Structure 1
Amino acid sequence: MGGILTRSIGFLIMMLVGYLFKKNKIITVEDGRVISKIIVNITLPMALASGFQGVTITKTLVSMTFLGILANAIMLVVGFIVARKKGSMDKVFYMLNLSSYNIGNFTIPFAQAFFPASTLAALYLFDVGNGLMCLGISIAIVSSIVNSSSKFSLKEFLKILFSSPSFVTYVIMVSLTALKISLPDSVFTIVKMVGSSNTFLSMFLIGILFELNVDKDSIKTVLRVIFIRYGFALIFALIIFFILPYSRDIRSIIAMTVFAPIVSVAPIHCEKLGSDHTLAGFLNSVCIIISLVLMTLTLILVG
């Protein structure tokens, strides 16, 4: 328990340092965008690739992808039901912010401090399903609901997916692993050297981008989304940990993952579909703190 709390406090300190650097104008939000590009294009893909060393693709790992799709799909439906009597802007807001999980920039750096590579592989495959939904399928569904003239484009969908370095990394590493093609240990050594910086950079960036500016009238909407999102996360976690037939480590890491914050691109998609991206950004920031606390508690309880 002491080790879990110490590491969680360490993550919080990394975020706080980023926030204080921004507030004291040592680093600007523009600098944060540069750091974001480094993470997305270099350190995160390397961190993901390093996790596949010695991993064997099993039916259990493959099922994680479907679990990631299912979790997103359920919350997408919940968002639609909650906002069914509301306008298009609210439908977009609820559906996009109740579904999706920030795994690449938050959960993976967090989980790498507590789980071995063999267990992290389950998280990576869960994120493949999560990525398929939050980077493409969910956006297409929400767009078609609020805009009847909108049509699904397979070309655009694939373009979005394969423009994500993380998704491309998953495709390459899963393919190599499935074909039982092993990269040399020297390659993994270099990959790990680069990927090891991902945790600090990701948490530092979260601190830089953290914002808590919102009008009081919007607090009710934020609280409602938080209550529903984490309420269902609790239900998912209980089902995953106590019912699903996986090893304890896999059940633990996925039960923890469903408490992850909203995917970082949600505010961008909200803006594109005509919803309140400022409120979505505020909600995203709040969920990061809540998720850090709940994911830590989950680890303590299942550890």
Structure 2
Amino acid sequence: MSTVILNALSIFIVLALAMLLKQFRLVRSKDGLMTSKLVVYITLPATIIIGVNHSQLSATFFILMVMGLFSNLALIFIGKLLSSRRPAEEQALYMFNLSGFNIGNFSIPFVSSFFPVAIPFLAMFDMGNSLMVTGGSQALIEGLSGRKKSGFIPREVAGVLLRNPPFVAYIIMFLLALFGLALPDSWLTPLKPLSQANTLLSIFTIGLFMDFRLPDGKLGLILKTLASRYTAALVLSLLVYFLIPFPHLVKQVLLLIFFCPCPSFTCSRLRPLAMTRL
């Protein structure tokens, strides 16, 4: 128990340090663009490769992949129901905020500090999740909210996914596991320092991007959308924990996923909505 508390404390210290350094202007929010690139292109793929290597596929992995896809769909439609009487921009805000899970920048760094053996389960869920947050959710939400622009273009979504190093790492390791193969441990030795830096850089990046300034007069809307997201997360968590016969470790992973923040893809798409309504 003391180890868990110390690990959680270390993560909080890194987050607070990034915010403190930003407050004293030793670093700036835009520096997070550089650290996030280091995470996406270097440390996170290294963490995935090391964490997933030697994994043996089972029915649980495929179920998690499907859950990653359909949990996003379910949350989008819940957001639509909750905001059906609101303007189109607010409907999109609700649906974007309720769906999507920031697994790469939050869940994987958190899990790797506590129980790295669970990373393969996160990876399989994120494969389904990635299909939505890289374009599937945007196309669906634009249609449901009446803000349809280009529709769902599979080639564009595939292009985004294949330019995403963590997703490419997922695919490579999934194919190796599918054929019962694994990379030699000696090959992974140069990746270990990079993997060990992932938690530090990921949490530090979150701290750089955190901003507590709120738009004037929109605090109520923000609180409602956050309350809706975490209420939905609580419902999903209860369903998984009490109704689905997963191993206890898998249930812990899913509970962490459901309560993690929005993905960076979602945040970037919410900015134009914030400009128009918030």
Same fold (TM over 0.5): yes
What is the DSSP-based 3-state SS (H/G/I as helix, E as strand, rest coil) of the residue aligned with 1:265?
A: helix
Partner of 1:183: 183
- Cα distance in 1 between the residues matched to 2:162 and 2:119: 22
Specify whether residues 38 and 277 from structure 1 end up closer, same or farther in structure 2 by C-alpha distance, changes over 3 A only.
farther
Question: Do the aligned partners of 2:135 and 2:152 also contact (CA within 8 Å) in 1?
Answer: no
| Offset, 1:104 | 0.2
- Range with greater deviation from structure 2 (122-131 or 147-156): 147-156
- Cα distance in 2 between the residues matched to 1:114 and 1:130: 22
Specify whether residues 25 and 251 from structure 1 end up closer, same or farther in structure 2 by C-alpha distance, changes over 3 A only.
same
The letter for the 1-side match of 2:24 is N
What is the DSSP-based 3-state SS (H/G/I as helix, E as strand, rest coil) of the residue aligned with 1:152?
A: coil
Partner of 1:276: 274
Deviations along 1:46-71, one digit per CA (max 9) or x if unpaired, are 11111112210111111101111121
| Offset, 1:14 | 0.2
Specify whether residues 79 and 177 from structure 1 end up closer, same or farther in structure 2 by C-alpha distance, changes over 3 A only.
same
Question: Do the aligned partners of 1:35 and 1:205 also contact (CA within 8 Å) in 2?
Answer: yes
Partner of 2:243: 243
What is the DSSP-based 3-state SS (H/G/I as helix, E as strand, rest coil) of the residue aligned with 1:276?
A: helix
| Offset, 1:2 | 2.8
The letter for the 2-side match of 1:185 is D
The letter for the 2-side match of 1:251 is K
- Cα distance in 2 between the residues matched to 1:77 and 1:231: 15
- Cα distance in 1 between the residues matched to 2:115 and 2:275: 34
* TM-score for both structures, normalised by structure 1: 0.87
Deviations along 1:236-271, one digit per CA (max 9) or x if unpaired, are 111212221111111111122211111122221123
Q: CA RMSD in A?
A: 1.7
Partner of 1:199: 199
- Cα distance in 2 between the residues matched to 1:139 and 1:276: 16
The letter for the 2-side match of 1:129 is G
- Cα distance in 2 between the residues matched to 1:25 and 1:47: 31
Partner of 2:43: 43
Q: Does 1:154 align with 2:189?
A: no
Partner of 1:142: 141
Question: Do the aligned partners of 1:48 and 1:169 also contact (CA within 8 Å) in 2?
Answer: yes
The letter for the 1-side match of 2:66 is F
- Cα distance in 1 between the residues matched to 2:165 and 2:112: 19
- Cα distance in 2 between the residues matched to 1:26 and 1:279: 33
Partner of 1:291: none
The letter for the 2-side match of 1:138 is S
| Offset, 1:219 | 1.0
**Percent identity over paired residues:** 29
Question: Do the aligned partners of 1:72 and 1:133 also contact (CA within 8 Å) in 2?
Answer: yes
Partner of 1:15: 15
Structure 1 segment 48-197 matched on structure 2, within 5 A: 48-117=48-117, 119-145=118-144, 146-148=146-148, 150-197=150-197
What is the DSSP-based 3-state SS (H/G/I as helix, E as strand, rest coil) of the residue aligned with 2:113?
A: coil
The letter for the 1-side match of 2:175 is S
Question: Do the aligned partners of 2:102 and 2:264 also contact (CA within 8 Å) in 1?
Answer: yes
